[in-house]
Amino acid sequence: MYVVILVTAKDKKEARKISTGLIKAKLAACVNIVEKIDSVFFWAGKIDQARESLLVIKSKKEKLPKIIKLVRSLHSYEVPEIIAIPIIAADKPYLRWIDATLR
Contact 16, 33 (CB under 8 A): yes
CATH of domain 2-102: 3.30.70.120
pLDDT digits (tens, 9 = 90+) for 6-62: 999 999 999 999 999 999 999 999 999 999 999 999 999 999 999 999 999 999 999
What pLDDT score was predicted for residue 91? 97
Report the predicted TM-score, pTM, of the whole model to 2 decimal places.
Answer: 0.95
Q: Are 8 and 81 in contact (CB under 8 A)?
A: yes
- How high is the pLDDT of residue 87? 97
Each residue's pLDDT tens digit, 72-89: 999 999 999 999 999 999
CA distance 7 to 10: 10
* CA distance linking residue 59 with residue 52, whole number of Å: 22
Give the domain ranges of the chain: 2-102
Write down the pLDDT at residue 100: 97
